[in-house]
Amino acid sequence: MLVKISSAAILGLDAYQIEVEVDSIRGLPGQSIVGLPDAAVKESRDRVRSAVANSGFEFPSGYFTINLAPADTKKEGPLYDLPIALGMLMVSEQAPAREMNGTLVLGELSLDGSVRPVNGILPICLSLADKCSEILVPRENADEAALVRGLSVIPVRSLKEAVGHLSGKAIIASHKVDIDALFQDEPEYGIDFADVKGQGHVKRALEVAAAGGHNILLVGPPGSGKTMLARRLPTILPSLSLEEALEVTKLYSVTGSLSGKGSLVTRRSFRSPHHTTSDIGIIGGGRIPRPGEVSLAHLGILFLDEFPEFDRNVLEVLRQPLEDGKVTISRAHSSLTYPAQFMLVAAMNPCPCGRLYDARNACVCLPHQVQRYWRKLSGPLLDRIDIQLEVPRLKTEELSSLPAGESSAQIRKRVRRAREVQVGRFKGKRVFSNAHMTPRQIKEHCPLEKQAEAILKSAIVHLKLSARAYDKVLKVSRTIADLEGSDLILGRHVAEATQYRSLDRKGGEF
Amino acid sequence: MGIESFEQGQKGEEAAERYLLQNGYQILKRNFHSQQGEIDIIARDRDVLVFVEVKNYSFRSYGSPLGAVRKSKRESIVHAARTYLLKNNVKDTNCRFDVLTISRHLDGSRRIELYKNAFFIN
């Protein structure tokens, strides 16, 4: 007798249907799994054996052949345990065999017969929603699966429950989540800009960066609050839309980092990989390419602390996703594209010892050490960073006397308004924020007032701004004007924007 | 193997046979030999052909008796089972490997346990 049960496999952020075919022949007892299973799939044999026995069923006798069709793609992960076990029970007539068209079954089995959560449920549901009407998922994944409308999601806790549902003896009600309720509140971050005392100019620069999607480099001595400020950047970004949230959730679902975050990721992500992270860890990779840090930071912040300490090749691989907003990773197995639209926030010390330009402590680095430290950052990379800023150390008396600043909610309001202006401006174009304007768009959208033009000219002369810096200043001025709601770029906007070119002012190096 | 332990083995297998009969098994053959293996008891449990390995254990043995049916032993049992199926032209019949353990206590009493479906061919 032969039983077919539908399941799914993931490729990148998409999924395709898998048929789990279970057949038994009479003879010596045993089983084999074919259809290019990886180690986790092969091991399902032992899990299924225990789970079946511990669920009050009898492990069927006979030789079982389990085929995962299509047979030419590699299957990985433990998500076929449940369909295999169900198939074996149906073949041995311990569960009624029925037509399984339109029903998808996924789940890892524990030895005691309970169903454990698996990765990638959301992408599977999104990709296969039109091919099936019902999906059996582990209870822990039900919230995630129910985000897809028009799909009957059956949460199962154990093999026994799954058999009960399919036989019609104990039908499980389909699981529903209220998507609108998930979106009602502003996301809760637990941190706020009001926590940071002083550093008014850095907060302002972060606001500008958030408003225009500009990448930003913070340079300051250790303990000046660079990390603390950067961590609070997601709190002033506008909340994710449902579409964006689904996209981010998909990435988290595939990498299995969704647990503990609820079913839907409504917060913007903040990723801060350590500087020993490899280029594959940053960009993604592996035999079957998996998303890396740039993709997990999609629509959020990628924070690189100790920027020059990263390997040179790690920094260089950032260039392409910074430009395109996505990464394509090619391996022998397949070539996959993951989204990677993130804001880069980099932090570094001005020199290896960190005390250069510190008013109270003398720097002990030799000039060539400082030079070598800065040389790690290539021109093309710095080119993609619009705002460069010094973060000075606060004096003790400032720390105790300064009042708390504005709350994140207040700043977020202004940022949202500025973003709305930009969305209107770039409607129908493939640009979403000022940071991504092309040179032609800069000419078109950055009309300068007379005084502004004069300030920019004198800045070029006196601060020796390069041609590259000229465009950056214009882009940032555009964002500052948007924050103020001004169509024309005024003198004060340009004046502020030139302040954000610390590196250029100091000739490419502090 | 001393004559004493051989006798113990014989007694054990007799006890095993009685136990199986009580459990509704129909004994087909005792001590079936092939070139590379041996099966202690071949029986029929309803429509399933059962190959039973009998393990004798004194109270002094360490660990579970089942643990002593190691890979090489399992392989030799499987080999013998295949030979039996071939020789007797058995087809289209479900088979099973059971292990029956007999533990002897100091007072001479025996405890018999039957492990159905103890192992599989892989």
Cis peptide bond upstream of A70, omega within 30 = yes
Closest CB from A26, A29, A59 relative to B121: A29
Query: Could you tell me the pLDDT band of residue A190, with boundaries at 50, 70 and 90?
Result: confident
Q: What is the CATH number of the domain that holds B97?
A: 3.40.1350.10
CB contact under 8 A, B94 and A27: yes
**Does the CB of A43 have a partner CB in chain B at under 8 Å?**
no
**Does the CB of B94 have a partner CB in chain A at under 8 Å?**
yes
Give residue-wise pLDDT tens across range A9-28.
998 899 999 999 999 998 88
The mean of the pLDDT values for chain A is 88
pLDDT for A32 beyond 80: yes
pLDDT of residue A291: 93
Q: State both tokens at B5.
A: 């332990």
**Does the CB of A44 have a partner CB in chain B at under 8 Å?**
no
Q: Mean pLDDT lowest for which of A463-467, B36-40, B52-56?
A: A463-467
pLDDT of residue B66: 60
Counting residues of chain A whose pLDDT is more than 90, the rounded percentage is: 45
Q: State both tokens at A205.
A: 């620069």
- State mean pLDDT over B71-95: 90
**Does the CB of A222 have a partner CB in chain B at under 8 Å?**
no
pLDDT of residue A461: 84
pLDDT for B73 beyond 90: no
pLDDT for A414 beyond 90: yes
CB contact under 8 A, B94 and A61: yes
Contact A321, A294 (CB under 8 A): yes
**Does the CB of A401 have a partner CB in chain B at under 8 Å?**
no
Which chain A residue's Cα is nearest to B77?
A28
Q: From CA A169, how far away is CA A274, in angstroms rounded? A: 53
Identify the three-state secondary structure at position A115: strand
Residues of chain A neighbouring B82 (CB-CB closer than 8 A): 28
Q: State both tokens at B77.
A: 């049992």
pLDDT of residue A483: 93
Q: Which residues sit opposite B52 in a β-bridge?
A: B41, B98
Higher pLDDT: A375 or A414? It is: A414
The whole-model pTM stands at 0.83
According to DSSP, residue A486 is labeled -
Alpha helix stretches (DSSP H) within A395-466: 396-401, 408-425, 439-445, 450-462
Name the most confidently modeled range: A54-58, A318-322, A374-378: A54-58
Residues of chain B neighbouring A63 (CB-CB closer than 8 A): 121
Name the E strands within A253-351.
Answer: 270-271, 284-285, 290-291, 301-304, 326-330, 335-339, 343-348
Collect all residues with Cβ–Cβ distance below 8 Å to A440 and sequence separation of at least 6.
none
Give the mutation candidate from B45, B115, B117 for the A interface (greatest A CB count, under 10 A).
B117
Closest CB from B48, B81, B122 relative to A61: B48
Higher pLDDT: A333 or B53? It is: B53
- State mean pLDDT over A410-415: 92
Residues of chain B neighbouring A59 (CB-CB closer than 8 A): 117
- State mean pLDDT over A477-482: 94
Query: Could you tell me the pLDDT band of residue B67, with boundaries at 50, 70 and 90?
Result: low
Domain that holds residue B112: 3-119
pLDDT for A125 beyond 90: yes
CB contact under 8 A, A28 and B48: no
pLDDT of residue A98: 78
Residues of chain A neighbouring B81 (CB-CB closer than 8 A): 28
The mean of the pLDDT values for chain B is 83
**Does the CB of A62 have a partner CB in chain B at under 8 Å?**
yes
Size of interface A-B (CB pairs under 8 A): 33
Identify the three-state secondary structure at position A243: helix
Q: What is the DSSP string of A128-168?
A: HTTT-SEEEEEGGGHHHHTTSTT-EEEEESBHHHHHHHHHT
> In whole angstroms, how large is the CA radius of gyration of chain B?
14
Give the mutation candidate from A26, A42, A52, A58 for the B interface (greatest B CB count, under 10 A).
A26
Collect all residues with Cβ–Cβ distance below 8 Å to A186 and sequence separation of at least 6.
A239, A409
Domains identified in chain B, total number: 1
Q: From CA A153, how far away is CA A139, in angstroms rounded? A: 10
ipTM of the prediction greater than 0.90, yes or no: no
Higher pLDDT: A99 or A154? It is: A154
pLDDT of residue A104: 94
Query: Could you tell me the pLDDT band of residue B4, with boundaries at 50, 70 and 90?
Result: low
**Does the CB of A259 have a partner CB in chain B at under 8 Å?**
no
Q: From CA A340, how far away is CA A345, in angstroms rounded? A: 14
Closest CB from A27, A29, A63 relative to B117: A29
Q: Mean pLDDT lowest for which of A96-100, A120-124, B29-33?
A: A96-100
- State mean pLDDT over B38-57: 90
Give residue-wise pLDDT tens across range A260-310.
656 788 888 899 999 999 999 999 988 888 999 999 999 999 999 999 999
CB contact under 8 A, B97 and A29: yes
Q: From CA A237, how far away is CA A417, in angstroms rounded? A: 11
Higher pLDDT: B60 or A87? It is: A87
pLDDT of residue A184: 67
Cα→Cα distances A55→A100, A200, A424, Å = 22, 63, 59
pLDDT of residue B7: 73
pLDDT of residue A82: 96
Give residue-wise pLDDT tens across range A347-359.
999 888 888 877 7
CB contact under 8 A, A27 and B97: no
Higher pLDDT: B60 or A6? It is: A6
CA distance B94 to chain A (A): 5
**Does the CB of A59 have a partner CB in chain B at under 8 Å?**
yes
Counting residues of chain B whose pLDDT is more than 90, the rounded percentage is: 34
- State mean pLDDT over A225-242: 89
Residues of chain A neighbouring B48 (CB-CB closer than 8 A): 61
CB contact under 8 A, B81 and A26: no
**Does the CB of B110 have a partner CB in chain A at under 8 Å?**
no
pLDDT of residue A509: 53
**Does the CB of A119 have a partner CB in chain B at under 8 Å?**
no
pLDDT of residue B70: 77
Residues of chain A neighbouring B117 (CB-CB closer than 8 A): 29, 59, 61
Which chain A residue's Cα is nearest to B120?
A30
Q: In which residue are the tokens 């103020």 written?
A: A484
Which chain B residue's Cα is nearest to A32?
B122
Cα→Cα distances A345→A192, A218, A291, Å = 18, 8, 20
**Does the CB of A61 have a partner CB in chain B at under 8 Å?**
yes
- State mean pLDDT over A167-182: 87
CB contact under 8 A, B120 and A31: yes
**Does the CB of B117 have a partner CB in chain A at under 8 Å?**
yes
Contact A494, A449 (CB under 8 A): no
- H or E element that contains A264: none
Closest CB from A31, A59, A63 relative to B117: A59
